[in-house]
Chains A and B, each alone.
Chain A
């Protein structure tokens, strides 16, 4: 199966190259610092004071009770931080699905043996699985933190962890698809990330302008990846899946655009 071989090779790009290990080490280091110097002290602090006050103070743009919807405070904190930080990580780490191989000509060797669709979706699948691994590893590290510092919270954290895992897996889907699209249109990973950020900001302003000029248009609220975040953190437990169609539809649209761009581009 060429798609699986190509997806597997994306993992090899991460785990079997020096560049990949440097990225893993850097991410591990940053995540470790974040876990011990942000999530843990914040969880201790929030547990000791009025949740309504602190969530209002820390996350005024979100929902005042965002944290109180989670029985394990660390899981609630992880959920909110991951929701806003992991997409940025994805936009950087998944940016080189096609770009550098296309610029270097390596893609030509692949196109002789696999269709453009197989390459495009294989790379997307591989990168998405890498993002799933990131979610899994970071979530397990939070569970380990809970087990070590607040063992009483372990059962409730274990029951909430799958909800966070599934939701984050859905949230990151359109971001990987977004980078698949921009990776086809760019000649380097850095350029793909820049294009994606610029594109996102331009679209955000454009949508705001349209809504200001012509009044609220409901469907435009869901065009941008991440547009459901503020609604998502207001939901509790598996109710969060009620917003799942948004990232799924965004992913289908972005993948279709990327697939068309891949088929139309000269190699």
Chain B
């Protein structure tokens, strides 16, 4: 099922094109990573899809409906960047209003608020006001509002920005479990995080679409990425280069080793044997390159 479809979608701020003639078609399923450097147009794209801003040109359809259509209420939701709940009201009160606006009535809003707060492990905070919560907790509550009514599409703009690892883990686990019921589009600078969660990627730069497709692209088969805690670097590079099928070995900036192998050669078995022989422990071995390496390497 097509969840997002844009044709020539553009947004200009004066002479600056924040988004430039974007043609994009995304299908439902595994979470989709929306990546790109600052100013790439990620937030602009999400804001256009949510109807927060109006396009300068082009069209966008979400779940087969025009952006802003009444039919999208309850079917699409979002965690907008830098959006805060009203500090004067309790979390429960505000989330109940959102549920009512989505068409729930009677005791339904209260039940739904309990469900979504439970999902983000914030049930204890329902009577609290946003100001009484930490940044990470507020983010989780904002994520809870996005789950109200079990929408089919959830857009998350920088869901883990500036929050501590325990809160990041809660959000990641939640996205993973909820992605069985909804398609997530996640904008983030944390490529490691996105790699763990997402099945496909949309890469924007300077308002243009650079790449869109699955994360486990077959074109990436000629690489292995290995993370080692601490080994004598020169010795490892020497030993690894000697393995049959290895074309080149490079040490990456973040400490991973990128091994370029010949097509059709199973270097991984030989590599693991070499590590065991030398008594070197490894953290992880990935078929292909990291997302960061693929995009910026």
Contacts and interface: CB of A to CB of B under 8 A. Distances in A.
Interface of A: 2, 5-6, 9, 12-13, 16-20, 101, 104-106, 108-115, 264, 266-267
Interface string B79-106: 0101111101100011001101110000
A18 B89 CA distance: 10
Contact residues of A: prevailing secondary structure = helix
Given A13-B88, A105-B84, A112 B77 contact: yes
Given A115-B68, A264-B54, A266-B52, A19 B88 contact: yes
A84 B113 CA distance: 45
A110 B95 CA distance: 10
Contact of B86 (A20, A101, A264): A101
A113 B73 contact: yes
B97 A105 contact: no
A13 B94 CA distance: 11
Given A12-B93, A112-B78, A17 B50 contact: no
Contacts of A115: 68, 70
7 contacts: A17-B88, A104-B84, A112-B50, A113-B102, A114-B101, A115-B70, A266-B53
A5 B73 CA distance: 15
A12 B89 contact: yes
Contacts of B97: 5, 9
Contact of A108 (B50, B54, B93): B50
Range class of the B interface residue count: 20 to 34
B67 to A, nearest CB: 11
Contacts of B86: 101, 104, 106
Contacts of A9: 97
Given A106-B84, A114-B101, A267-B53, 11 more contacts: A2-B101, A17-B88, A101-B86, A104-B84, A111-B52, A112-B50, A113-B102, A115-B70, A264-B54, A266-B47, A266-B53
A267 B84 CA distance: 13
A20 B102 CA distance: 27
B246 interface: no
Nearest to A113: B101
B200 interface: no
A55 to B, nearest CB: 44
Contact of A17 (B53, B89, B145): B89
B101 A111 contact: no
Nearest to A4: B100
A266 B51 CA distance: 9
Interface of B: 47, 50-54, 68, 70, 73-74, 76-78, 80, 82-86, 88-89, 93-94, 97-98, 100-102, 145
Given A12-B93, A112-B77, A105 B82 contact: yes
B60 to A, nearest CB: 15
A104 B83 CA distance: 6
Given A115-B70, A264-B54, A109 B88 contact: no
Contacts of A109: 80, 83, 85, 94, 98, 145
Contacts of B100: 5
B74 A108 contact: no
Contacts of B54: 264, 266
Contacts of A266: 47, 52-54
B153 to A, nearest CB: 11
Nearest to A2: B101
A199 to B, nearest CB: 25
A36 to B, nearest CB: 32
Contacts of B83: 104-106, 108-109
A69 to B, nearest CB: 43
A267 B52 contact: yes
A108 B89 contact: no
A101 B88 CA distance: 11
B52 A108 contact: yes
A6 B145 CA distance: 17
A23 B116 CA distance: 34
B44 to A, nearest CB: 10
A120 to B, nearest CB: 14
Contacts of A264: 54
Contacts of B51: 111
Q: Which 7 A-B pairs have the closest CB atoms?
A: A105-B83, A113-B101, A17-B88, A267-B52, A108-B80, A266-B53, A108-B83
B68 to A, nearest CB: 7
A126 to B, nearest CB: 12
B182 to A, nearest CB: 14
A108 B46 CA distance: 12
A263 B109 CA distance: 28
Contacts of B80: 105, 108-109
Nearest to B155: A112
A20 B86 CA distance: 14
